[in-house]
């Protein structure tokens, strides 16, 4: 899967998680963040695995597919960027994103 596009100066919300499974809470948080925070986009960072959970999640491709089926919005991108970057820790992922998109402002979303 390719990297999502973001224009210099855009503000992108990041919602990371295993999305195992993706659910209405993820959708609600995303829609509210777009409305209330003035974000240009939200990227779902579907993690290959959670380093602090003992059991492995469902296969990454299945979770990405399920997330895409659930969250259909023109300003939301479902990604597996962490798999491509080889990162697991949030701080490492943020550093990789800041290097790849130096003129984009990222906002970490939690819920």
Looking at the chain, the whole-number percentage of residues with pLDDT higher than 90 is 88
Q: H or E element: which one contains 44?
A: strand 41-46
Question: Nearest Cα to 91, choosing from 33, 51, 40, 60?
Answer: 51
Angle of the 24-37 helix axis to the 60-70 helix axis, nearest 10? 60
User: For 58-95, what is each residue's pLDDT tens digit?
Assistant: 999 999 999 999 999 999 999 999 999 999 899 999 99
Q: Where are the domains of the chain?
A: 11-109
Cα distances (angstroms) measured from residue 84 to each of 6, 8, 55: 17, 22, 22
Say how far apart CA 84 and CA 6 lie, in whole Å.
17
CATH 3.30.540.10 fits 11-109, yes or no: no
């Amino acid at each position: 899967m390719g990297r999502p596009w973001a224009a210099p100066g855009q503000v992108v919300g990041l919602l990371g998680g295993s999305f195992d499974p993706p659910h209405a809470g993820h959708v609600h948080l995303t829609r509210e963040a777009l409305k209330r925070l003035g974000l240009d986009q939200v990227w779902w960072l579907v993690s290959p695995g959670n380093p602090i959970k003992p059991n492995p999640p469902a296969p990454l491709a299945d979770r990405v597919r399920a997330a895409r089926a659930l969250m259909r919005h023109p300003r939301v991108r479902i990604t597996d960027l962490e798999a491509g970057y080889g990162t697991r820790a949030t701080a490492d992922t943020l550093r990789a994103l800041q290097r790849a998109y130096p003129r984009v402002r990222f906002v970490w979303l939690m819920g």
